[in-house]
Each structure stands twice: as structure tokens, then as C-alpha cells.
Chains A and B, each alone.
Chain A
Amino acid sequence: GEDVEQSLFLSVREGDSSVINCTYTDSSSTYLYWYKQEPGAGLQLLTYIFSNMDMKQDQRLTVLLNKKDKHLSLRIADTQTGDSAIYFCAERMGYGGATNKLIFGTGTLLAVQP
């Protein structure tokens, strides 16, 4: 199947860490992504991880990948009110080039309380 699951909602206080979780289905996925969507806006690529990596850090963002469990997480350190948005994980499926498509998760709404 092509189901990518995420929890629907996460609420944190400003300054705390946020952890957004995702489970995917295709063990052959080579790249996994995190996108951010602010209200009324398009999708902004935050970061991605190659499937042979366990962890990737990019400033306040840390991505953890457990390939055995097909589990991906995004940790945002020192969460700010500007981080409030919907976060989508996505896995890439396809055979390369233009056959690639992104299968998106259901999205997690992150609400940051001041």
C-alpha cells in the first residue's frame, strides 16, 4: 500500500522541543522528506534524509530514521511560534527520474503556544 501515517495534532510551548512522527510503508523508499505548510501557503521543503542514514541534523531540525520499523521523525529544537504550521512527511516512490512521485503523509498540525 501507499499509506503514510502521521498523528494529526501536536501542541507545544514556545522554547520546548517538538517531535513529529511518521510511519511509511515502502521499505524500498530511497529518500524521505519533511515539508512545512503555513496557512494559505504552498509546501516548503525543510529537509530530507537518504535511506542509508539513521540521522540528519540541520540547525534546529533533527531527522531520525528507523528503517527496520519504517519510522521517521522530525525534532524541532527550541520551537518558536513561527514554527506553527502543518508538517508533512513524504516518501519517494518510483524507478528514477520522472517516474518518481512523492507519497505524502496525512500531515501533523503543530501549534506552538507562547
Chain B
Amino acid sequence: DTAVSQTPKYLVTQMGNDKSIKCEQNLGHDTMYWYKQDSKKFLKIMFSYNNKELIINETVPNRFSPKSPDKAHLNLHINSLELGDSAVYFCASSPPGSGGNTHTQYFGPGTRLTVL
């Protein structure tokens, strides 16, 4: 069973388009995240949500809008795509709490976005 899944795995689109990436976790976690990995493999957090509420927003352009319909899903919508948005986007989730293994983040397989 897939713990954290993302769709699509690959996304190729033209500049200026609007696209969405979906993420679902079946781990019963309360917290979900979006990370961006650029062409140099550098990984940086974009957002975190806890139980459908936005917690972290790392100065990401407002063309990026996360949406959490329920705590098992965190989708990422991107408006007016730009060349610089090309990257691999990873979704992650973690259980509630702060001790033991509850802090661990589990990552999805990634979505490779290519903007032409």
C-alpha cells in the first residue's frame, strides 16, 4: 500500500498555464507538506498544513496555492506557470506530536514538472 502518493508523476506544460498536483496520504497523519527540489537537487520547504490549516508558508509566490480538502489530502495549484517553476515537487506527511518517531516526515515519490 502506498503511504504518500502523488499524481501525476510527470507533468509537462506550457508557460502561462495553470496546473494542479495532488497528494494523498493514508497514514492517518495530521500534518502535510510541500517541498520543491530544483535542478541542482536542492530541497526547500514551501508549505505545511495541519488538519487543513496552513501553518508554514515560506515566501512562496502567490501563484502557488495549496488546498487541503481534508487532512489526508494536500493539493498544490499553480497559476500562470513560469520556466523557473520547473522542478520536482515532493509531498510529505508526519504524525502529530513532538517526541519519538512522531516527528518523522514521510515523502511521496515526487512530481516532475517541466514548463516549456
Chain A residues within 8 Å of B, Cβ to Cβ: 31, 33, 35, 37, 41-45, 48, 86, 88, 92, 94, 96-104, 106-107
Cross-chain contact B110 with A97 (CB below 8 angstroms): no
Q: Shortest beta-carbon distance, A31 to chain B, in Å?
A: 6
Alpha-carbon distance A44/B98, docked complex (angstroms):
20
- Which among A37, A96, A98, A106 has the greatest number of chain B C-beta atoms within 10 A? A98
Cross-interface CB contact of A101 among B30, B33, B49, B96, cutoff 8 Å: B33
Q: A98-B50, A102-B45, A104-B43 are in contact. List 4 more A-B contacts (CB 8 A).
A: A41-B110, A42-B108, A97-B97, A102-B105
Identify whether the interface residues of B are mostly helix, strand, loop, or mixed: strand
Cross-chain contact A101 with B48 (CB below 8 angstroms): yes
Considering the complex, give the chain A residue whose CB is closest to the CB of B46.
A101
Q: B110 — which chain A residues lie within 8 A by C-beta? A: 41-42
- 7 pairs across A/B with beta carbons < 8 Å? A94-B56, A98-B55, A99-B56, A101-B56, A102-B105, A104-B42, A106-B40
Identify whether the interface residues of A are mostly helix, strand, loop, or mixed: strand
Q: Shortest beta-carbon distance, A41 to chain B, in Å?
A: 6
Alpha-carbon distance A106/B106, docked complex (angstroms):
19
* B31 on interface, CB distance cutoff 8 Å: yes
Alpha-carbon distance A86/B41, docked complex (angstroms):
9
Q: Shortest beta-carbon distance, B112 to chain A, in Å?
A: 8
Chain B residues within 8 Å of A, Cβ to Cβ: 30-31, 33, 35, 40-45, 48-50, 53, 55-56, 58, 90, 92, 94, 96-98, 103-110
Cross-interface CB contact of A97 among B31, B35, B41, B92, cutoff 8 Å: B31
Q: B49 — which chain A residues lie within 8 A by C-beta? A: 98
Alpha-carbon distance A94/B50, docked complex (angstroms):
14
Alpha-carbon distance A99/B110, docked complex (angstroms):
22
Alpha-carbon distance A43/B107, docked complex (angstroms):
6
Given A98-B30, A98-B50, A101-B48, A107:B42 Cβ within 8 A: yes
Cross-chain contact A45 with B104 (CB below 8 angstroms): yes
- Which among B43, B44, B53, B90 has the greatest number of chain A C-beta atoms within 10 A? B43
